[in-house]
Homo-oligomer: A and B are copies of this chain.
Amino acid sequence: MENFNNYLKIINEAIAGIDLKQQPQNLYLPIAYSLGMGGKRLRPVLTLAACDLFGGDIKNALNAAVGLEIFHNFTLVHDDIMDAAPLRRGEKTVYKKWDSNVAILSGDTMFAIALQQITNTGHPKLKDVLQVFIQTAIEVCEGQQFDMDFENRSDVSISEYLEMIRLKTAVLLGASLKIGALLANAGEDQTRLIYDFGINAGIAFQLKDDWLDAFGDEAKFGKSIGGDIVANKKTFLYLKCLELANPTDRELLIQLFGSSHSSKHNKVDQVLDLFEKYRIKEATIQEMEKFFGMSIRSINQVDAPVEKKNMLSGFAEMLYKRDK
């Protein structure tokens, strides 16, 4: 993972080097705070990796990579308002540290700064890059809206759920890779393959997130098990269990997810018992493997040096096999 650590370093230096204005303070301090929270910088790392995969110079992709990370952070700032989330990466969210208005407006400005970074890409493919980025930005908003809509719906299907996580999470990973490939002048079939790799790996990552919430090792996971269950989140696990359960257990599961009355541990334990009864752990692994397998098949078809492809698929595997 030598290269990937190097990419991360380059990204973090570029983000730290952005010359944000000072005034108005209530606009720019929250932006600096959000960008300074760190994180895995997964999206820009993938942009640089895809650019290198196709023989491009990663310097050509750095502006776009940074723009994609700023865009991702913008979505987090706005999502945290909508989800009333007090904490992110252990720190207060922008909307909690300041207020909703500050979070709305500094988020809007981050969207514009993201775009500024991407537009600074001095490359003949700029229009293609922008079209991928804009299409993705719209899809990410659609994914967030579907996610919010699902909270009030009792008839969400597994395919709708998979489509929601594709939009909310996977398309930005796919786009980050595709934009790196475009900036290395990769051809259309190649950019499609690397996009598909990102989409399917992204869906597998999100299913893994759901899985860890219920079946992770609490000590390694770093937060308590069952957060999604407590929050009545209709994850793949819940939807699969609804599909497999007998009518009585189905009723029980719906009832457990319909109320916040049952004491926390009791509720989590009851749901986990149902998950065990219907082998949801195994069913989820099967689904994850399906998407992860598709992602590997896509990257294997890419026309690039095998050691570079192995680096990228190894990186994806490391993320996929994570236990926290």
Contact = CB atoms under 8 A, between A and B. Distances in A.
A247 interface: no
Contacts of A26: 145, 148-149
Contacts of A130: 115, 119, 130
A112 B131 contact: no
A24 B141 CA distance: 10
Interface in A228-280: none
B105 A134 contact: no
A116 interface: yes
A298 interface: no
A119 B134 contact: yes
Main secondary structure of the interface of A (DSSP, over half): helix
A113 B100 contact: no
A202 to B, nearest CB: 19
Contact of A78 (B105, B137, B142): B105
A42 interface: no
B149 A24 contact: yes
Interface residues of A, number: 36
Contact of A134 (B78, B104, B112): B112
Given A26-B145, A26-B149, A127-B119, A104 B104 contact: yes
A81 interface: yes
A7 interface: no
B145 A105 contact: yes
A238 to B, nearest CB: 20
Interface string A105-149: 101110111011001000000110011001101100110111011
Interface in A65-120: 78, 81-82, 100-101, 104-105, 107-109, 111-113, 115-116, 119
A312 to B, nearest CB: 28
Nearest to A101: B82
Contact of A138 (B112, B119, B127, B142): B112
Given A26-B145, A100-B100, A138 B113 contact: yes
18 contacts: A21-B142, A24-B142, A24-B146, A26-B149, A27-B145, A78-B108, A82-B104, A100-B100, A105-B141, A105-B144, A105-B145, A105-B148, A109-B138, A112-B134, A112-B138, A115-B115, A119-B127, A119-B130
Interface of A: 21, 23-24, 26-27, 78, 81-82, 100-101, 104-105, 107-109, 111-113, 115-116, 119, 126-127, 130-131, 134-135, 137-138, 141-142, 144-146, 148-149
